[in-house]
Structure 1
Amino acid sequence: MIIFMSSSAAGSPSHRRAWWPTVMGWAALACSYFVAVPVFGVLSPVTWTMAYLGWLGAILGPAYGALRSARIRGLTPTVMWWCLWVVLAVAILTMLRPPVLTVDDLYQRHRADLDQLAAEYRAEGIGEDRALPLRLRFLAVDGQAHLRCTSRDPDRGCGVYLMLWQDWRAEAGFGIAYFPVRPNSEVRITTASGDSGGPTRELGKGWWLVE
């Protein structure tokens, strides 16, 4: 059942004070994930700040509205309406996980999903570039898992690559990649349209920082 807020309730001063952070929070989230991630990168302080401010507004705004409504009118459909917004925001945050600023934190926070992606690659389930599942979609600036191979040693250099940052001209970039076989120092893969890089540090279970 969908619960709608009455026009009189929505127009009350207390609900206007709750509406503003809620609307601004969701707007900040949209800008963070759909604008800041592609432009500034996954680990950018700009992306991190916008996302955290967005989640604060999206959760605390309706929580404040629910508390104010319950205090003034008791348990009403308006309170339930606000609570649904809180539950929705928390559910999405739980699926996407809070943003991070370092590649090590990113790996640790999404380790289970990244291990699952690696297992799918080993089972030959990723034979070409493809869109990441929704829970991992914003771990790459383009939302894709790229199949990357080095021409020098294809047996050791092939892996799946997630692009964490790319400049606006696509001349430089870095990311993380999974290699089923430990790569050697000669492995180079494409990190942007005009750039290539090699694995510099292992994050865990075959995942490497590539820059």
Structure 2
Amino acid sequence: MVIFRIDWQTLYIDSQFRFHRDEFAALVAENELNRPLTVPWWMKYFSLDGQVRQQGGGLYLPVFVEPWRAESGRGIAYLRHPPTSEMIIKIATDDFGRPVRDLGNGWWWVE
């Protein structure tokens, strides 16, 4: 007997990031040039509220926020520099997270 355990969240995030790598890079380029961000149509379904937030020179896409009182969340952040152990990112109204998984090209999964 073989049992498979699939982490659907990781599979979904990784596949979306790989499939749309060029569009993630375009967001970074717009941010670096201080231009208004053009959010692709599909990202309106990927990001919780269809928005990409500019935070501390980087970008943040909220993917999940606890629905009851928005006290916790998870998402994807673009960081210009590799994160340090002290780095925190605002991920919900009353919550901060840390980059925990490198997605590539400066993008990180934040919890």
Q: For this structure pair, what is the TM-score category when the shorter chain's length is used for normalisation? A: 0.7 to 0.9
1:65-95 CA distance string (max 9 Å, x none): xxxxxxxxxxxxxxxxxxxxxxxxxxxxxxx
Query: Residues of 2 paired with 1:131 and 1:205: CA distance?
Result: 19
Query: 2:60 aligns to what SS in structure 1?
Result: strand
In the TM superposition, residue 101 of structure 1 has moved relative to its aligned partner by 4.6
Aligned length: 103
Matching of residue 111 in structure 1 with residue 42 in structure 2: no
Aligned to 2:105: 205
Query: 1:102 aligns to what SS in structure 2?
Result: helix
Query: Residues of 2 paired with 1:123 and 1:184: CA distance?
Result: 25
Which is strand-richer, 1 or 2? 2
Matches within 5 A, 1:1-211: 101-126=11-36, 132-149=39-56, 158-168=57-67, 169-211=69-111
Which protein has the larger Cα radius of gyration, Structure 1 or Structure 2?
1
TM-score, length of structure 1 as denominator length? 0.45
Query: Residues of 2 paired with 1:171 and 1:109: CA distance?
Result: 30
Q: Structure 2 stretches of 5 or more lacking a match?
A: 1-7
Query: 2:16 aligns to what SS in structure 1?
Result: helix
Query: Residues of 1 paired with 2:20 and 2:90: CA distance?
Result: 23
In the TM superposition, residue 109 of structure 1 has moved relative to its aligned partner by 1.4
TM-score, length of structure 2 as denominator length? 0.81
Instruction: Note closer, same or farther for the CA distance 1:192–1:103 as it changes in structure 2 (3 Å cut).
Output: same
Q: Structure 1 stretches of 5 or more lacking a match?
A: 1-42, 45-99, 150-157
Identity %: 37
In the TM superposition, residue 198 of structure 1 has moved relative to its aligned partner by 1.1
Query: Residues of 2 paired with 1:141 and 1:131: CA distance?
Result: 16
User: Which amino acid counterpart does residue 140 of structure 1 have in structure 2?
Assistant: S
Instruction: Note closer, same or farther for the CA distance 1:202–1:163 as it changes in structure 2 (3 Å cut).
Output: same
Query: Residues of 1 paired with 2:49 and 2:38: CA distance?
Result: 9
In the TM superposition, residue 132 of structure 1 has moved relative to its aligned partner by 2.5
Q: Is the 8 A contact 1:180 1:206 kept in 2?
A: yes
The ranges of structure 1 where at least 4 consecutive aligned residues each deviate by more than 4 angstroms after the TM superposition are: none
Query: Residues of 1 paired with 2:70 and 2:32: CA distance?
Result: 29
Query: Residues of 2 paired with 1:116 and 1:101: CA distance?
Result: 23
